[in-house]
A and B are shown apart, each in its own frame.
Chain A
Amino acid sequence: MNQSETVSSLVQVIIAGNRKAAPELAKKLLQSGMDAYEIVTAACSPAMERVGELYQEEEYFVPEILMSAKAFEAVMEILKPLLLEAQGQYSGTVILGVCEGDIHTIGKNLVATMLEAAGFKVIDLGKDVPVDRFIDSAVEYDADIIGASALMTTSMIAMEDIVDRAKTKGIRSKIMVGGGPVTQSYADSIGADGYGKDAKEAVDVAKRLMEG
């Protein structure tokens, strides 16, 4: 198998959710001289994008996206140290979590891995995260960005409190939001700094927030 064939197999096994084969192929690509960042952009991102499409087309369901995410994460385990080494430093620190009362972690996990792939240091607070924990962690890690995810209309309302609390506390972190029911107009209405509709946009937004 030449390098480009291996890249397409890696794309295929991530889409197929094969978490054993995926890291092996990534190792092979590294051995063939491909650099970690290129593996992410040439294989991992397009694979996950395709998985997102398959989900939207109702070809894929939750078990399938979960397994693809696992395969993707298994590749990232191998690439992460190399990415960091190559970059020399993180491009920024992001506090990420799912709002209180909400346990929908799949989307947040994808955002976390894509941010890491793009060179961000991600502090993942997990699910069911109270407003104060977002704020306290942002202070503790001197975060550039707070990313809040919510999949339920009932948990989404905490985003407004995160924005308000961050303001009153005067912390410097920018706030970005996302997840199923969240929209750009909702993000604007609560005064969040950014909104991303998927994990790819989350990275674009994070990069933009780092600039200004």
Chain B
Amino acid sequence: MSGGIPDRVPVSIVSSAWVFSTYGLDLQTAYKDAERMTEVWRGFNRDFGADAIVLSLSSTVIPSYFGTTWKFPKSGFPLLMEPAVKEMSELEELQQIDPSKDEQLQACYRHGTQLVEEFGDERCVWFMTTGPLSNAARITETEFMMECLIEEPDFVRDLFRFSVDAWKIAVKPILEMGVDVVDFSSSPGSPDLISPRMYREFFWEFDREVIQWIHEYGAKAVFHICGNTLRIIEDMAKTGANGLSIDSMLDMSLAREAIGKKTALVGNLDPANILMNGTPDDVIAASLEAMKIGGINGGFVLAPGCDVPPTCPRENIAAMINTATEYGGYPLTY
């Protein structure tokens, strides 16, 4: 991601939920237990040996701090029950976040420090979390936020401002411990939800601000927007991000054409159809193809396109990682 061509294509799982559930951690309590999270990554590193060790902060933590409530289904994604901000006036009443009062943030900091100490020299410590604008849709609620994008643009800007400030406060200690990569999402900016015009008008500026801020600490910035992002991929690259994490429905050769060589691409194996429901052979084929298209001259990290479902088989993750280590050597010759 620093521009040169590495020895081979790096590979990263960019999902801690899968790793935790595969190693027997209950997702509801895992994020409070730094020692067990570290132990699990030790296990993952031993068994799978990917290039990145992922430190993550669950998507629910920051919104919950402000009062959002959730339901956790046995499998699948957390469901938002009641948002912290149901009306515009409630935003002003929120007190800015104080990390010392949040158990999960504290656990994340401890876990992060352990990972950096233990793996910092040998592996890339990749911090991954929902970004501030994704959190904004969870501090309010997506539908409400979508309405406000049309009817109350000023409120949306205030909400984004607040959420970016909160995120910086929560993430600062993680940057200070010396993680290598900060990977955040800006999901509601997806062309699946809003127009490219709205992305430029409301989201872009904040995404750029966050990326510049990450750079101030010397870390690399990667950011993710779900869905087919072709129509905003140039804007995404212009934020100055070192890497763009892209979903499986995005045609990577078109993306590469649009953004040139400067920005790395991270992706984009289909989490549901290939990683969860495919065979290891499907995964190998898809990984080879992705490396060929995305990584012909460096600037590519092989990874899932979006969050990996906890039910995805181990063999498939192993197949992804092994394909990069076995066939990903530069120059690609297969």
Residues of A within 8 A of B (CB): 17, 58, 61-64, 66-67, 70, 100-101, 103, 105-106, 128, 153-154
B150 and A17: CB pair below 8 A? yes
CB distance from B164 to the nearest CB of A (A): 21
Task: Give every chain B residue within 8 A of A105 (Cβ-Cβ).
Answer: 143
A63 and B71: CB pair below 8 A? no
Task: Give every chain B residue within 8 A of A153 (Cβ-Cβ).
Answer: 272
Query: Of B73-81, B92-100, B316-324, which stretch is located at the interface?
Result: B73-81
A66 and B143: CB pair below 8 A? yes
Distance of A17 Cα from B148 Cα, bound (Å): 12
Distance of A106 Cα from B192 Cα, bound (Å): 14
Given contacts A61-B198, A103-B79, contact A66 B146 (CB under 8 A): yes
Kindly identify which residue among A58, A64, A70, A101 contacts B79, using a CB–CB cutoff of 8 Å. A101
Distance of A66 Cα from B194 Cα, bound (Å): 11
B73 and A103: CB pair below 8 A? no
**B332 near A: Cβ within 8 Å?**
no
A62 and B79: CB pair below 8 A? no
**B151 near A: Cβ within 8 Å?**
yes
CB distance from A70 to the nearest CB of B (A): 7
B193 and A154: CB pair below 8 A? no
Kindly identify which residue among A58, A61, A67 contacts B147, using a CB–CB cutoff of 8 Å. A67
A128 and B71: CB pair below 8 A? yes
CB distance from A7 to the nearest CB of B (A): 24
**B2 near A: Cβ within 8 Å?**
no
Chain A residue nearest in CB terms to B191: A61
* Count of chain B residues with a beta carbon within 8 Å of a chain A beta carbon: 19
B193 and A62: CB pair below 8 A? yes
Chain A residue nearest in CB terms to B147: A66
Chain B residue nearest in CB terms to A70: B147
**B253 near A: Cβ within 8 Å?**
no
Residues of B within 8 A of A (CB): 71, 73, 76-77, 79-80, 143, 146-147, 149-151, 191-195, 198, 272
Kindly identify which residue among A17, A61, A101 contacts B195, using a CB–CB cutoff of 8 Å. A61
Distance of A105 Cα from B80 Cα, bound (Å): 13
Kindly identify which residue among B76, B147, B198 contacts A154, using a CB–CB cutoff of 8 Å. B76
Please name 22 pairs of A and B residues whose Cβ atoms are closer than 8 Å in the assembled complex, sorted by A: A61-B191, A61-B193, A61-B194, A62-B192, A62-B193, A63-B146, A63-B147, A63-B150, A63-B193, A63-B194, A63-B198, A64-B150, A67-B150, A67-B151, A70-B147, A100-B73, A101-B73, A101-B79, A103-B79, A103-B80, A105-B143, A128-B79
13 other A-B residue contacts (CB within 8 Å) besides A63-B194, A66-B147, A154-B76: A61-B195, A62-B146, A62-B192, A62-B194, A63-B149, A63-B150, A64-B150, A64-B195, A66-B143, A70-B147, A101-B73, A101-B76, A103-B80
Distance of A61 Cα from B190 Cα, bound (Å): 10
Distance of A63 Cα from B194 Cα, bound (Å): 7
CB distance from B294 to the nearest CB of A (A): 25
Task: Give every chain A residue within 8 A of B191 (Cβ-Cβ).
Answer: 58, 61
Chain B residue nearest in CB terms to A16: B150
Task: Give every chain A residue within 8 A of B76 (Cβ-Cβ).
Answer: 101, 154
CB distance from A15 to the nearest CB of B (A): 13
Distance of A64 Cα from B147 Cα, bound (Å): 8
CB distance from A180 to the nearest CB of B (A): 11
CB distance from A161 to the nearest CB of B (A): 15
Task: Give every chain A residue within 8 A of B193 (Cβ-Cβ).
Answer: 61-63
Task: Give every chain B residue within 8 A of A63 (Cβ-Cβ).
Answer: 146-147, 149-150, 193-194, 198
